[in-house]
Amino acid sequence: MSDARRAASRLRRDLRGTHDHEGRARLAPDRVLTTLHAVTGEPETAVALLAEVWSAVPADTDQAWLHRLCDVGTELALVLPTSLLLAAAFRRAAQSLRAHGLLRLAAVQGMRELAIHRLRDDDPDATAAALHDLADTYRAQGRPHKVIDCADETLETYHLHHHPIGIAHTLARLGTLMIEVGRHDSAVGYLTRADKAFEHMPDTTGRAECLVLLGRALWLSGNQTTAHRAFNRALALAIRLDTTTAQRVRHLVEEARQPDFDDPAGHGEANTDFPFSPDDR
């Protein structure tokens, strides 16, 4: 084993096993970058270390150093463009950067993770998970159109891979997003398609939850009669669910049937579930 690999092994061991008084792994910035650069000739070793480092970044880390750490990942992507471990490192980077409020940089890391799964094109669930995490960053930025774009690409991915379960759940997800942004007719369309997709699979919970959402979308679009039909269908399915899930479905229906249940967005305005911000750092 080379000296560089030994140094990387020691650092990974230290990051996993040594913690400060707040329970965080101690991170010596200079040591981390020096060790990473020393093993760039052995990219698999560098990627394994990078993934470990991103899991141990404390909240008070210098932002300039975080940018330099991102640069290491960028260099490694040129050598290992389809590495699943590097994709995991990018995911951890995005999550850490979101916690630091560096949302633009988090989005870049999320896109790099997504690029790996697009290139591999062998696991639609992995691609969907990458898109979902990227959507979390866009949501934090207050960019609902980008969140919806992620869901659209997820749906396209599942269609290309002939993945009916993924298609059904993503249609329901798109319906939920349409409700959030006040596009109730579009929500009804997506959720109706989702309901039909759930007809052909044994996911009773997924279909019941979809019907509750469909009822909500219909209610908000002014079609209360059809909304009640959707709610009743959801309640009929709840009988076949476990006690906890059935109770949750009943609670959702009861909540939606209250006389004062209304569009939180003001009948068509985008609601506050998306925190619009003038600063999408």
- 65-103 pLDDT per residue, tens: 999 999 999 999 999 999 999 999 999 999 999 999 999
Check whether 265 has a pLDDT greater than 50. no
Read off the pTM: 0.86
Is 111 within 8 Å of 73 (Cβ atoms)? no
**Tokens at residue 94, please?**
């995005």
Q: CA 229, 232, 233: angle at the middle one, nearest 5?
A: 90
- 114-145 pLDDT per residue, tens: 999 999 999 999 999 999 999 999 999 999 99
CATH 1.20.1530.20 corresponds to the domain 163-264 = no
Q: What is the CATH number of domain 1-161?
A: 1.25.40.10
- 19-73 pLDDT per residue, tens: 554 545 567 888 999 999 999 889 999 999 999 999 888 878 889 999 999 999 9
> What is the 3-class SS of 209-263, one letter each residue?
HHHHHHHHHHHHCCCHHHHHHHHHHHHHHHCCCCHHHHHHHHHHHHHHCCCCCCC
- 147-182 pLDDT per residue, tens: 999 999 999 999 999 999 999 999 999 999 999 999
Fold match between domain 1-161 and domain 163-264: yes
Per-residue confidence (pLDDT) for residue 17, from 0 to 100: 67
Domain ranges of the chain: 1-161, 163-264
Per-residue confidence (pLDDT) for residue 274, from 0 to 100: 46
Check whether 217 has a pLDDT greater than 90. yes
